[in-house]
Amino acid sequence: MPRITEQQLSELRALPIEGVAQRLGLGVSRHRSLCPFHDDSHPSLHYSVAKNTYKCFVCDAHGGPIDLVMHHLRKSFVEACQWLADENNIIMQEFIPHDKPSAPKRAFNPEKYIRFFEHPFLCQAARAFLFGERKLNEKVVGWCRLNSYTDRQGTTWLQIDINGNLIGVQSRNLGHCRPSTTAPRFKFPYGHTCHIYNLPVLKLLKEGEPLYITEGASDCWAMLSSGHKAIAIPSATLLNRKDIETIRSTLIDRRSTLHMYPDQDIPGEKLYLQLTRIATDAGLCLVRHSLPPGCKDYSDFYVRHLQPKC
């Protein structure tokens, strides 16, 4: 078992109590959930966001994030700390550099990520980004199983399940709680390969309904939020024969057509031309739509012109 430092302990104790409860599968709503410590039928476990604690007014179970994990999962204190650290990408052991030749590149391990996406949790920063800034539809965000976590440097990440079946994970930087940290905008786990995003939506395509192609995941969410079925293809080189055939046969079967709003820049134009060539070779037509002047991509167009004004 690793040694836990005071610093790590305070990080674990500071993990948002409702996020921890969600990860444990306790459905939190309005700062309450069913109490797992007694036979509860009416949500009597209360969460205090200010104190970062829970308390049951029936059986008097109470404590903080570590207590909740210990008692709910029947773990020891150290085991509960390790579980919380693993769940939140907090590294408990110090990194020791060594001179050994670097290990072979690890394959992407979906197992490590499945639990994140089974009970996705969106922290306040993630909700502000998705619903405040991007004005996305809640159902779309739910369908896409977006998840968030804050790393030990205090950087909040939005975790994106690439294909509904976890063939890859992408994390998007949502900003830092602490000003001194520097982190990239996106990061990918070991062994991750880029892939077409949201391919499972093909199963939902209705007869005659158009299918839109976007360049990135955030344009794809905006497209879905405006009521269209969409997939994201960040680069034409990602399209393999199998995917092209899946898209082609779906479109033929549903009598659907392929559409695209190319981004208003050189990479956007290049991608559109490459995809047009691939579509033509597959016997499909890619219908081009233009964004209004001043909108750099579909997400921008959606935020400024399409989303319901509130």
Binding site for Zn ion (CB under 5 A): 35, 37-38, 56, 58-59, 61
Shortest separation between residue 119's beta carbon and Zn ion, angstroms:
21
Measured from the CB atom, the residue of 58 and 177 that comes closer to Zn ion is 58
- Cα angle, residue 179 at apex, residues 175 and 182 outer, rounded to 5°: 65
Shortest separation between residue 35's beta carbon and Zn ion, angstroms:
3
Shortest separation between residue 69's beta carbon and Zn ion, angstroms:
16
Find tokens 């077409």 and name the residue: 196
Measured from the CB atom, the residue of 55 and 270 that comes closer to Zn ion is 55
Rounded Cα distance, 78 and 82, in Å: 6
Rounded Cα distance, 267 and 246, in Å: 25
Shortest separation between residue 26's beta carbon and Zn ion, angstroms:
11
Shortest separation between residue 36's beta carbon and Zn ion, angstroms:
8
Measured from the CB atom, the residue of 35 and 275 that comes closer to Zn ion is 35
First to last CA, the chain: 52
Q: What are the DSSP E strand ranges found in the chain?
A: 32-33, 45-48, 53-56, 62-63, 147-150, 155-161, 169-176, 186-187, 211-214, 229-232, 258-260, 286-288
* Other CB atoms within 10 Å distance of the CB of residue 306: 15
Which of 119, 122, 114 is CA-nearest to residue 150? 122
The 3-state DSSP class for residue 26 equals: coil
Measured from the CB atom, the residue of 35 and 247 that comes closer to Zn ion is 35
Measured from the CB atom, the residue of 9 and 58 that comes closer to Zn ion is 58
Measured from the CB atom, the residue of 59 and 183 that comes closer to Zn ion is 59
Shortest separation between residue 70's beta carbon and Zn ion, angstroms:
15
- Cα angle, residue 215 at apex, residues 213 and 221 outer, rounded to 5°: 75
Shortest separation between residue 61's beta carbon and Zn ion, angstroms:
5
Measured from the CB atom, the residue of 32 and 259 that comes closer to Zn ion is 32
Q: With 0-12 CB in 10 A as exposed, 13-18 as middle and 19+ as buried, what is 99?
A: exposed
Find tokens 């400024």 and name the residue: 304
